Amino acid sequence: MCGRFTLTTTPEEVARHFGLDETPVLSPRFNVAPGQLIATIAREPEGARWVLALRRWGLIPAWAKDPKIGSRMINARVETVAEKPSFRGAFRKRRCLVPADGFYEWAVRNGGAKQPFQIALPGRRCFAIAGLWESWRDPEGASSESCTLLTTSANRKLQEVHDRMPVILDPADYATWLDPRSLDEATLMRLARGAPAEELELHAVGRRVNDPRFDDAACLEPASSPG
């Protein structure tokens, strides 16, 4: 599962990393939580440009009667994403990148207490989590867009903390992942396995991050007594 992440990278670096034509307006995020609007990057329907847009985290399938279903759709397991009715349409036609520079997981320690960890590349470099997006219309006809993050089995380094991790795409695969013409399921599933991410580092942080109301640099402060 991936239930929290960070995006503190400058807008200029986000634009450079993803080859955007415009620098997005983004504020640093230290504790992104489900239900919030998050930055996503998708290809324009008619063209090759990549565009950043804010979409709500928690995918609402187009056929849903109640948008509250989105709270249960924050992640899509790569093993079943191509078959599940909630995700299979988006997997084929509405893939996106979710910029991030870290994510959080919690490990059980000290007789049941949960120790939060921030997991990031060295230097907290920017990367992309594989995502899917969907458009939903309410009974009055108003539309809203939402998204989900793909997850896969954790690599060896992360298994001590959690058995799942977000799919981190290789930058060389961004264009294929975003191209709606890329419909070969074997290729998509290969990309959706993500990079090995053996470079990832684990940093024990304080329990401030447990509360999604806190979204500031203090969320990344080292734990006083990790364990």
Question: Quick check: is 147 catalytic?
Answer: no
Known catalytic residue at 126: no
Catalytic residue among 2, 96, 126, 219: 2
Asked if 203 contacts 120 with a C-beta cutoff of 8 angstroms, the reply is yes
| Residue of 12, 46, 79, 105 marked catalytic | 105
Measured between alpha carbons, how far is 89 from 94 in angstroms, rounded to an integer? Answer: 7
Count of CB atoms within 10 A of residue 78's CB? 21
Within 10 angstroms of residue 111's Cβ, the number of other Cβ atoms is: 5
> Which residues, at least 6 apart from 85, have a Cβ–Cβ distance to it below 8 Å?
61, 63
**Which residue do the tokens 């009055």 mark?**
140
Catalytic residue annotation = 2, 105
